[in-house]
Structure 1
Amino acid sequence: MNSAIQTAFDSWTPPFATIAMLLLTAAIYARGFARLHRQVPERFPVWRLAMFMGGIAALFVAIASPLEAFDDLLLQIHMTQHLLLMIVAPPLILAGAPAIAIVRGLPPTIAKAIVGPLLRSSRVRRLFAWLTEPLVCWIAFVAATWGWHLPATFQLALRSDGWHVVEHACFFTTALMFWYPVIQPWPSVARWPRWAMLPYLLLADGQNTILAALFMFSGRLIYPVYATMPPIAGFTPLGDQIVAGAIMWVPGSIFYLVPAVLIMLQMLAPQSLRSPLPLFPSPEGRGVRGEVSRATEHSASAR
């Protein structure tokens, strides 16, 4: 085994707090999902559980697996982490309609004492409305993508564990925002007409393609810190950067374009044959606040 790989493995320590948080989140969701699946199976079919758990698994691989030991050795590994944090885990988690299931999975005292007051807060409602406005979501996502891929900020995150956590938190949070209008997790209500998600996704794919092309065709090393790393698997620093750009470009485009095609097909289908696609919203909905309030009341009454 390459000595650099062996050293990375030996120096990696499992982040037990992160692993515990992911497992706890999965357990709370599963508990709430089981109740909702029995009560409203048409709203909470098994595929929602599979989607949510797939998202948690993607987070685990990105931030709590040995993959993390190599992100400062190979840019392609670092880019794979970003892919999981930004375009794999968030849409899968949102497809699980997590808001209601998590509230139903919480202990009744916590649901009533914490979730209830938050829902009654006008400031919290206004903040949530602003954070889920599609234009705000798109700008935040693109700003985080480009801002953290600047040489200064990217290398800062490589040198500092604290800033690395902040970087990943920014990626995941803004990605949840970005995918929220696309997935429109039940019971949220769309702010923009469905056709607007086509330019929303295509423009996001465009900026992703430009950034990926810079990695692949710049002809120079964008992050000089990787030139100081020992060679792994025969990759030169510039070759590693080209592979990282390809990872950003090809899978990234697939994740942007496939939802756009599905939405377009849904819109073009004859009205008599039109039905909501599994990952996309149906026209009706009470809104997040109303359904979460009902879930909180159910949890409280279960005491």
Structure 2
Amino acid sequence: MTTHPGWTSWTFDPAMTAALLLAAWAYAHAYRRAARVAPRPPGPSHWIPYAAGLAVLAIALLSPLDPIGEQYLMSAHMVQHVLLADLAPALIVLGLRAPVLPLGLPKAGLRWIAPGGRLGRFIHVATRPWVALPVWALATWGWSIPAVFDAAAANPLLHGVQHATLFYAGLAVWWLIVDPLPSERRKPHPIRLGYLGFTRLVSAAVCLPLTWLGTTLYPRYVEAPRAYGLSAIQDQQIAGAAMCLLEFLIFGLALAVVFLDLLGRDQRLADRTESLFPTPRRST
């Protein structure tokens, strides 16, 4: 009798677990350092997204999504890609935004991330619109080509490369959209929402055909064991619909964040105006 992974079976990967714990430890130190020195210290709106981003990475890489997506269901594999390339990077970058970066870094880290530092120069180039957006589009489209998608699922090394490129392309594009460091080049909100809209169009070019096509495109998943009660075409359509739904929810979340940021900016402007021109009290 053939056994298959259950939805409650998680794997323990020592290297990945150590990397996630190290990322959490480093963030905790940066958060405490920023809280000590920043005029407006970070709060739950910083650490909650970052913690959620690490949790999403754990779900993508340590949950049953990984083995089920490799061997049985294309829908599980596609959901894993959205978590790695979109949701986790967005949450992590939101958690890193100022004042956590740069005030949470030690002096050596500040030198590296400064505009003239090695990492700073790389970030500056990698997050330019003409770099980050095409790279994200190429990663999204390239890894969705049926022959490439199937080959990555069959080869553990190529599968790891696939995950790494999707995650780092996601970090670059969300760094461009959120722009977490204090920067003179920061674009207005409508332009950054335009960047986000471009990424949704790129994703739609993948998820909409998968949702509505009546023929299967991925031979590996046509030949996979039907262990979860789904036919190959149902699995493919669910993969497309799940990808479209997640992308739509992420776009809605980004719109909400921008709206709240605009409200906060208006309130800060009103507070500064009130401090400069206080309203005279009426005599009773």
TM-score range, shorter chain: 0.7 to 0.9
Q: CA offsets per residue over residues 8-36 of structure 1, 9 Å max, x none? A: 96xx8521111111111101111221232
Tell me, in whole angstroms, the C-alpha distance in 1 between the residues paired with 2:98 and 2:156. Answer: 30
Q: 2:74 corresponds to which residue?
A: 75
2:272 aligns to what? none
Structure 1, unaligned stretches of length 5 or more? 276-303
Shift of 1:182: 1.8
CA distance in 2, matches of 1:101, 1:271: 19
SS of residue paired to 1:50: helix
| Residue number in structure 2 paired with 1:228 | 223
Deviation digits for residues 128-155 of structure 1, max 9, x if unmatched?
2211112321111111000000012111
Distance 2:74 2:190 in 1: 36
Q: CA shift at 1:248, angstroms?
A: 0.7
The Cα RMSD (Å) is: 3.1
Whether the 8 Å contact between 1:31 and 1:104 is mirrored in structure 2 is no
Q: Distance in 2 between matches of 1:256 and 1:42?
A: 28
Larger radius of gyration: 2
SS in 2 for 1:3: coil
What CA deviation, in whole Å up to 9, does each residue of 1:59-99 have, x standing for no partner?
11111233312112111111111111122111111111268
Cα distance, 1:220 vs structure 2: 1.4
Q: What does 1:5-154 correspond to in 2, within 5 Å?
A: 5=5, 13-40=11-38, 42-72=40-70, 73-97=72-96, 101=100, 112=108, 116=111, 119=114, 124-154=119-149
Higher relative contact order (CA 8 A, sep 6+): 1
The 8 Å contact of residues 198 and 264 in structure 1, kept in 2 or not, is answered as no
Size of the aligned set, in residue pairs, is 267
CA distance in 1, matches of 2:96, 2:268: 22
Distance 1:78 1:205, change over 3 A: same
1:175 aligned residue (170, 179, 182): 170
- Structure 2 Cα separation of the partners of residues 137 and 266 of structure 1: 23
Within 2, Cα distance between the matches of 1:34 and 1:262?
Answer: 24
Counterparts in 2 of 1:17 and 1:103: CA distance versus 1, 3 Å: farther
What are the within-5 Å matches in structure 2 for residues 199-218 of structure 1? Answer: 199-218=194-213
Query: Distance between the aligned counterparts of 2:201 and 2:174, measured in 1?
Result: 16
Q: What pairs with 1:212-291 in structure 2 (closer than 5 Å)?
A: 212-260=207-255, 263=258, 273=267
**CA–CA separation in structure 2 for the residues paired with 1:129 and 1:105:** 19
Deviation at 1:196, TM superposition (A): 1.1
Contact residue 134 and residue 192 of structure 1 kept, 8 A: no
**TM-aligned CA deviation for residue 42 of structure 1:** 2.3
Could you tell me which residue of structure 2 aligns to residue 4 of structure 1?
4
Question: Quick check: 2:89–2:174 contact (8 Å CA) kept in 1?
Answer: yes
Show CA shifts across 1:161-180 (max 9, x none). Answer: 00001001111001011111
Scaled by the length of structure 1, the TM-score of the pair is 0.77
Range 21-30 or range 130-139, more displaced: 130-139
Using structure 2 for the length normalisation, give the TM-score: 0.81
User: What is the aligned partner in structure 1 of residue 191 from structure 2?
Assistant: 196
**Displacement after TM superposition at 1:241 (Å):** 0.5
The residue that corresponds to 1:164 in the other structure is 159
**Any unmatched runs of 5+ in structure 2?**
270-284
